[in-house]
Amino acid sequence: MRMLKTTFLLTLLTLLLVLGGQAMAGRQGLTFGLILAVVMNGGAYFFSDKIALASSGARPVTREQAPRLYAVMERLAAKGRLPMPKLYVIPQAAPNAFATGRNPSHASVAATEGLLELMSDDELEGVIAHELSHVRNYDILTTSIAATLAGAITWIAQMGRWAMIFGGWGGRDEDNRGGGGLGALFMLILAPIAAMLIQLGISRQREYAADAAGAKLVGHPYGLISALEKLGAYNNRIPMNVSPSNSSLYIVKPLSPGQIFTGMFSTHPPLSDRIAALRQMTIAR
């Protein structure tokens, strides 16, 4: 069901890009929007993992440096019939983790030093199972595409605003150029907001799905429930130096320095809702 919701939202986001580009800049805007989306998606497909790892300060670790992390990852990867991801450790005190990579064969999982120090074996297993589920379900690729489409819509809207300011729209040829009118003005204002909300909806759906799949991979939800409770408590007290573009990757949205509020504009569902959904799960042995 969550996969169907995600597919629907991605389709809606693509239609918004196409219709928004046409309304704001006519056929040329539609064509340019599609080309922009393809180029940006290609960049996200091949380079988003390298960017995320580099910007987080993650460093690769060997089995000797992180034996506990390797043991848990190897056991769960074998259980899920997945290739062994590359493992990284992030030098941050706040407990957290993320997975990245365009497919299971090119996946990486990064955990903070705080996560490895503070989590029990069951809690660490729950966190790693969650991240492996993102890999297994191609969630990193899905959310990267959603973010790219939303970014393309916002970019086109920005260009449309500049065109209106400098008289790029209007006149007798506005039908061919997509010029002006209430429809274009409506899209300029609402399309970027709608795109952002759809993108956030996709991200939240994938978090719920990874929680459920991770619990099924382990065989019970209790380790992940305990981990989420602990992650929420520590991440509300210990800020992380994380770029806003990468914060959506983490299992729990990091508290960044200067952050004031979260809510409807968060990439993650409320922790209380995620924990409640896990408590309601029934996993057949």
Q: Which range marks the domain in which residue 139 is found?
A: 2-279
Q: Is residue 260 part of a domain?
A: yes
Over residues 124-141, mean pLDDT: 92
Kindly state the tokens that stand for 97: 């983790």
Side chain identity at residue 69, one-letter code: L
- Does residue 284 lie in a domain region? no
| Choice among 64, 117, 125, 131 that is catalytic | 131
Residue 258 lies in a domain: yes
> Quick check: is 116 in a domain?
yes
On whether residue 148 sits in a domain, the answer given is yes
- What mean pLDDT is predicted for residues 259-275? 75
Q: How far is CA 162 from CA 89, 157, 158, 165, in A?
A: 44, 9, 6, 5
Q: Give CA–CA dist 25/158, Å, rounded.
A: 12
Calculate mean pLDDT across residues 31-50.
72
Q: What's the whole-number average pLDDT of the chain? A: 80
pLDDT digits (tens, 9 = 90+) for 69-94: 999 999 999 999 999 999 999 999 99
Share of the chain above pLDDT 70, in %: 67
Q: For the chain, what is the radius of gyration of the CA atoms?
A: 21
- Residue 94: φ, ψ to 5°: -70, 135
Q: Tell me whether residue 138 is in a domain.
A: yes
In a domain, 285, yes or no: no
Respond yes or no: is residue 113 known to be catalytic.
Answer: no
Q: What is the pTM of this model?
A: 0.79
118 belongs to a structural domain: yes
User: What per-residue string of b and e applies to 181-192 under the rule 16 or more CB within 10 Å gives b?
Assistant: eeebbebbeebb
Number of structural domains in the chain: 1
